[in-house]
Amino acid sequence: MNLRNRTILITGGSAGIGLAFALKFVELGNQVIVTGRRQSVLDDVHAKYPKLHTIQNDVADPAQIAALATRVKADFPNLDVLMNNAGIMLFKNLRVPAVDLAGLMAEVNINVGGVIGMTSAFIDILTANKGTVINVSSALAFVPLPAAPIYSATKAAIHSYTQSLRFQLEESGVEVIELMPPTVKTDLAADMTEGDVVTVITTEELVKQSFASLSAGALEIRPGQAKLLAFMRRLAPDFINRQLWKASKKLVPVLAR
Ligand SMILES: NC(=O)c1ccc[n+]([C@@H]2O[C@H](COP(=O)([O-])OP(=O)(O)OC[C@H]3O[C@@H](n4cnc5c(N)ncnc54)[C@H](OP(=O)(O)O)[C@@H]3O)[C@@H](O)[C@H]2O)c1
């Protein structure tokens, strides 16, 4: 991927991995727009990093996606990179009925619906500008973390969707990249601790490894432990699945939510 002179939209770029990528892209001289749901967080980000453009937006809401697409296409006609990064992870107890059935779909709506909706809403400008789509899935696309069952399923879905997208866009001039991070120290992974099975890396380390792969032209980026999980999934799937269950069992909430 060409890492310079791009105009880049990063969903969920107000914190964690999205913000770390946004700052690296700015450092390389790119124009970067970040989104997030909370205006106060976006205001803080803009005050601290005035070069970042910020727009409040919820990727789970199709009407908000449509409004964002209209605004960004008008204000940033050179937009040529969409990084679908916004995501949430929830720990779920599947043994009891959910209190809130609609709430049960939150991860699906954001992690899957958001990626599909955003990609569709921006595909015309990305095609016109011969752009790049970067979908952020997870190492958990290979092996589920059973304490986060819906989250893991959403990431497997994004892995599948991204492969289809890459084939369909093969002759369009749009490159499709998938970033599959391992556990990274952010708010999303605050309850995940380093142990026998799980290793945790910083956003700085993730950026370092990912940008090396991006500049080398990789289309599927598996930093840190993601590479190992992909390998173990082939070598000993039952073993690695059970290891992740053991490592995450304590994170299953006692009560339904
Ligand atoms: N951290 C990890 O260990 C890890 C590992 C593998 C993959 N990932 C993936 O990496 C991506 C970023 O995760 P992170 O760890 O950086 O999480 P994070 O620190 O919690 O940041 C998430 C960002 O997404 C935004 N966001 C959440 N829901 C949104 C929505 N509906 N619409 C727009 N923005 C939304 C948040 O802002 P608001 O809350 O204000 O909306 C925030 O800017 C996610 O897709 C995650 O699944 C993370």
| Nearest atom of ligand 1 to the alpha carbon of 42 | 40
| Nearest atom of ligand 1 to the alpha carbon of 155 | 47
Contact (Cβ atoms closer than 8 angstroms) between residue 132 and residue 174: yes
| Nearest atom of ligand 1 to the alpha carbon of 188 | 20
Catalytic sites, residue numbers: 151
Residues 6 or more apart whose Cβ sits within 8 Å of residue 171: none
Contact (Cβ atoms closer than 8 angstroms) between residue 112 and residue 136: no
Nearest CA-CA partner of 83 in 207, 231, 235, 230: 207
Strands (E), the chain: 7-10, 31-36, 53-56, 81-84, 132-136, 175-179, 183-184, 200-201, 220-221
Sorting pLDDT into bands at 50, 70 and 90, what band is 257? low
- Give the residues surrounding ligand 1 with Cβ less than 6 Å away: 11-12, 14-18, 35-38, 41, 57-60, 85-89, 110, 114, 136, 138, 181, 183-184, 186-189
- pLDDT single digits (tens) 211-247: 999 999 999 999 999 999 999 999 999 999 999 999 9
- pLDDT single digits (tens) 8-61: 999 999 999 999 999 999 999 999 999 999 999 999 999 999 999 999 999 999
Pairing of strands 183-184, 81-84: unpaired
Please give the distance, rounded to the nearest whole angstrom, from the Cα atom of residue 74 to the centre of ligand 1.
26
The SS3 assignment for 5 reads: coil
Domains, the chain: 7-251 (3.40.50.720)
| pLDDT of amino acid 256 | 62
Strands (E), 49-174: 53-56, 81-84, 132-136
Please give the distance, rounded to the nearest whole angstrom, from the Cα atom of residue 228 to the centre of ligand 1.
23
Please give the distance, rounded to the nearest whole angstrom, from the Cα atom of residue 41 to the centre of ligand 1.
13
pLDDT above 90 for 197: no
Residue 180, Cα to own-chain centre: how many angstroms? 8
